[in-house]
Amino acid sequence: MAKEFIVAIELGSSKITGIAGKKNSDGSISILAVVKEDSTSCIRKGVVFNIDKTVLCLTNIIKKLETTLKTNIARVYVGVGGQSIRSVKNVIIKDLPAETVVTQDMINELMDANRSMTYAEQEILDAATQEYKVDALYQLDPVGIPCSRLEGNFLNILWRKTFYKNLNQCLNKAGVEIAELYLAPLALADAVLTETEKRTGCALIDLGADTTTVLVYYKNILRHLAVIPLGSENITKDITSLLMEDSQAEQMKLKYASAYTDNSDIDDNKKYPIDQDRKVESRKFIEIVESRLQEIIENVFYQIPNEYADKLIGGIILTGGGSNMPNIEKAFTNQAPTEKIRIAKFVNQNINSNLPEITAHTGTMNTILGLLAKGDINCAGEEITADLFQSNEPKHTTPTPAPAKGPRSYTETSGTGIVQTEEEKELLRKKKEEQEEAERKAQEEEERRIAKEKRENSPVNKIWKSIKNFASKITEEEE
């Protein structure tokens, strides 16, 4: 019996993670394998900067997974993120004749017009529809409502074109067949947030190694997305100012760092050992850690739009590796617009696994598990067989071809977190050109038909026809 499993890959700043899992009939997911590759030499702030090393990491991930699964991987789900991702609001307006009833085609025109927007050096990865303004009223579904002015409000998620092209180049060079390309922050949000939190208003804060991602939801709609180029690695680098190596600073951070310490609880005589010969004053260490964390928190709350700051009834949800720091809730509570703070240590899905990376529930695997949960296409190819008479190296048979998938229109993927690949965009461009060419030919044909009718119905043409008919009758009478 052919194997069935889903494979997902997350390109993070500190590591690239690959995971394989099987979806069960009861809705749970059984984890089959997890592999990781250090990415500090090829990905910075969530963005690919060394293509060759990234390709090597991706190839190693696939090989390790295939060895564990004893099966070829035909395709994978990939999550993308990074420092340059940001959201921008956009408004498209369509004036209509009085009492025109809004149709779905009109809505699609607005969405297509929005997706056709160009930004300097930026690529639109996805677009989340906010709401529509029908004359003076805001509506989530305006179809069927009569109006004279239709306004579409959108949230466009952008990324630098160069980064987007680098990523696609890496995936192509590594021979990775993409089942779907997802915005990792949106996959994470779907995995850790509840419907109530999204509906009533919440802010999801992913405290990563190199970056901190902020997502704001209200009425089940993504209202803002920003990636701050600060993370827990910045705290580690600050600790190195106490004259120690990065590895020592990381160990001290994990052992002694606290997000918040009351001044009365600080012992000025206490010292933390750096190594066998050196120590650092606890107050100095605490000040360094809290100063950087304070900067991160201030930047986080600066990113929450004022119009939603007082609507976060669902509260603030912290996740990611940085959320494991002691007293992190207290540090955020001191500045948060709400006292309702939750730490999402794990995803909402039912996950079955004995692997320590999964059972640790530290929040570091939430994004990759969210990507895995998105998968609905079998990623398994043919089983790998070993030829005992040739060598001990596994022999790969031809992978199962990917299921036929035509290009998705922008209107179909709006706000889902699905990112168009270069191939899909090229197919859409060709399809649009063909459609425009067909429309042009139809327009020319219609213009020729109208011109012909005008010529036939013109007074001169009618007189000429009358003369011809008269001449024809005379000729017939003479005969």
Instruction: Please report, for the domain that includes residue 331, its CATH number.
Output: 3.30.420.40
Query: Phi and psi at residue 84, in whole multiples of 5°?
Result: -80, -5
Given this model, what pLDDT does residue 117 score?
Answer: 92
Same domain, 329 and 288: yes
Render the burial of 369-406: b for 16+ CB within 10 Å, e for the rest. Answer: bbbbbbbeebbbbeeeeeeeeeeeeeeeeebeeeeeee
Residue 392 has pLDDT above 90, yes or no: no
Same domain, 237 and 360: no
Confidence of residue 77 (pLDDT cuts 50, 70, 90): very high
pLDDT tens-digit profile of 134-158? 999 999 899 999 999 999 999 999 9
Same domain, 224 and 295: yes
User: What is the pLDDT averaged over residues 282-299?
Assistant: 96
Residue 430 has pLDDT above 70, yes or no: yes
pLDDT tens-digit profile of 191-221? 999 999 999 999 999 999 999 999 999 999 9
User: Are the CB atoms for 179 and 379 separated by under 8 Å?
Assistant: yes
Question: Helices 232-239 and 282-303, interaxial angle, to 10°?
Answer: 150
Q: How far apart, in Å, do the first and last CA atoms of the chain sit? A: 90
User: Any bridge partners for residue 342, and if so which?
Assistant: 317
Residue 21's alpha-carbon distances to 25, 26, 64, 143, 264, in angstroms, are 13, 14, 14, 40, 49
Residue 394 has pLDDT above 50, yes or no: no
Domains held by the chain: number: 3
Local structure of residue 277 (DSSP, 8 states): S
User: Where a domain ends, among 331, 366, 383?
Assistant: 383
Who contacts 349 (Cβ-Cβ below 8 Å, separation ≥6)?
Answer: 27, 28, 29, 191, 369, 373
**CATH number, residue 139:** 3.30.1490.110
Given this model, what pLDDT does residue 59 score?
Answer: 96
Structure tokens at 248: 């020592």
Domain assignment of residue 471, yes or no: no
Helix (H, G, I), strand (E, B) or coil at 313: coil
Same domain, 234 and 155: no
Given this model, what pLDDT does residue 305 score?
Answer: 95
Q: Report the alpha-carbon distance of residue 58 to residue 75 in Å, rounded.
A: 13
Given this model, what pLDDT does residue 289 score?
Answer: 97
**H or E element at residue 319:** strand 315-319
Same domain, 144 and 259: no
Domain assignment of residue 202, yes or no: yes
Domain assignment of residue 324, yes or no: yes
Between these two residues, 197 and 475, which has the higher pLDDT value?
197
Domain assignment of residue 283, yes or no: yes
Percent share of the chain, pLDDT over 70: 94
Q: Report the alpha-carbon distance of residue 37 to residue 65 in Å, rounded.
A: 12
Same domain, 224 and 311: yes
Same domain, 238 and 322: yes
User: Where a domain ends, among 108, 142, 159?
Assistant: 159
User: What is the pLDDT averaged over residues 223-240?
Assistant: 96
Same domain, 150 and 202: no
Structure tokens at 265: 């609880």
Confidence of residue 409 (pLDDT cuts 50, 70, 90): confident
Residue 404 has pLDDT above 90, yes or no: no
User: What is the pLDDT averaged over residues 388-403?
Assistant: 53
Domain assignment of residue 255, yes or no: yes
CA 195 to chain centre: 19
Domain assignment of residue 408, yes or no: no
Percent share of the chain, pLDDT over 90: 68
Query: Phi and psi at residue 22, in whole multiples of 5°?
Result: -115, 130
pLDDT tens-digit profile of 348-384? 999 999 999 999 999 999 999 999 999 999 999 888 8
State the chain's mean pLDDT as an integer.
89
Confidence of residue 13 (pLDDT cuts 50, 70, 90): confident
Tell me how many degrees the CA angle 135-136-140 measures, rounded to the nearest 5: 80
Domain assignment of residue 437, yes or no: no
Same domain, 129 and 91: yes
pTM: 0.87
Residue 424's alpha-carbon distances to 80, 164, 171, 180, 420, in angstroms, are 17, 14, 14, 11, 6
Same domain, 71 and 106: no
Same domain, 212 and 288: yes
Residue 247 has pLDDT above 90, yes or no: yes
Domain assignment of residue 443, yes or no: no
Same domain, 287 and 181: no
Query: Phi and psi at residue 384, in whole multiples of 5°?
Result: -90, 130
Given this model, what pLDDT does residue 282 score?
Answer: 95
Confidence of residue 429 (pLDDT cuts 50, 70, 90): confident
Residue 464 has pLDDT above 80, yes or no: no
**Containing structural domain, residue 249:** 196-343
